[in-house]
Amino acid sequence: MAYHSQRNRASARSVVLALALAASLWPAVASTAPIPPPETVAVAVDQAKLVKLPGKVATIVVGNPMIADVTLQPGGLVVVTGKGYGATNFIALDRAGEIVVDRIIQVEGPSDYQLITVYRGVERNSYSCMPICQRRVTLGDGSDYFKSALEQAGTLNGTATGAATASGKSQN
């Protein structure tokens, strides 16, 4: 009988110690709230959005620059430009390398009500109808038109840049 009594006391002591330990750890466990998800910046492909950040931002890191571009402007203003469909993130750091902001960027398709999409089999063509319908280059369109339009735009840009450079040299 004495053996059972000592065993019960030891067991009771173990339970009391375990409860005391759990009670001492409870505030630490209870105060650990789940981390909220980062804020989301929604932007359409080929569109830009201005986002105000704290003024102490020195560096911007973009998770996937093929999805979005983020450009830091003076005063903590950033320009977020949608480049491809999908989601990525950007992290803003201060001069000491500490994280100031971590946000998700969600890039979606154009939401223009004037945008018309025509499917010819598997080939997709996009038209912007403001006020008349004209073809537009949209990510995911048929590759022939897409490549042709980008090539023409590149040639036009190169010509305009060359003309501006030549004009600047002739004035000097």
pLDDT recorded at residue 138: 81
Closest CA to 85 of 56, 124, 131, 44: 44
Contacts of 76 (CB under 8 A, 6+ apart): 52, 53, 54, 55, 56, 57
The amino acid at residue 34 is P
Q: Structural domain tally of the chain? A: 3
pLDDT recorded at residue 145: 86
If asked whether residues 104 and 123 sit together in one domain, one would say: no
- Domain-located, residue 171: no
pLDDT recorded at residue 18: 58
If asked whether residues 8 and 28 sit together in one domain, one would say: yes
If asked whether residues 120 and 162 sit together in one domain, one would say: yes
**Domain ends where: 59, 93, 108?**
108
If asked whether residues 127 and 162 sit together in one domain, one would say: yes
pLDDT recorded at residue 167: 65
d(CA 94, CA 96): 5
**Domain ends where: 108, 125, 147?**
108
pLDDT recorded at residue 45: 87
The pTM of this model reads 0.60
Residue 45, burial from CB neighbour count under 10 angstroms (0-12, 13-18, 19+)? buried
pLDDT recorded at residue 62: 96
- Domain-located, residue 99: yes
Q: 74: domain CATH number?
A: 2.60.40.1080
Q: What are phi and psi of 161, to 5 degrees?
A: -65, -45
Closest CA to 80 of 111, 54, 43, 108: 43
pLDDT recorded at residue 42: 94
* Bridge partners, residue 106, by sequence: 42, 87
Residue ranges with strand state E in the chain: 40-44, 48-52, 59-62, 68-73, 77-82, 86-93, 99-108, 115-120, 123-129, 133-136
172 residues of the chain, pLDDT tens digit each = 555 555 556 565 665 555 555 556 555 544 555 655 678 999 998 899 999 998 889 999 999 999 999 999 988 899 999 998 899 999 999 999 999 999 999 999 876 667 888 998 889 988 888 778 888 888 888 888 888 888 888 898 888 887 767 766 666 5
SS3 145: helix
pLDDT recorded at residue 165: 72
pLDDT recorded at residue 68: 95
If asked whether residues 12 and 44 sit together in one domain, one would say: no
pLDDT recorded at residue 168: 65
If asked whether residues 104 and 49 sit together in one domain, one would say: yes
Domain hosting residue 23, numbered range: 1-33
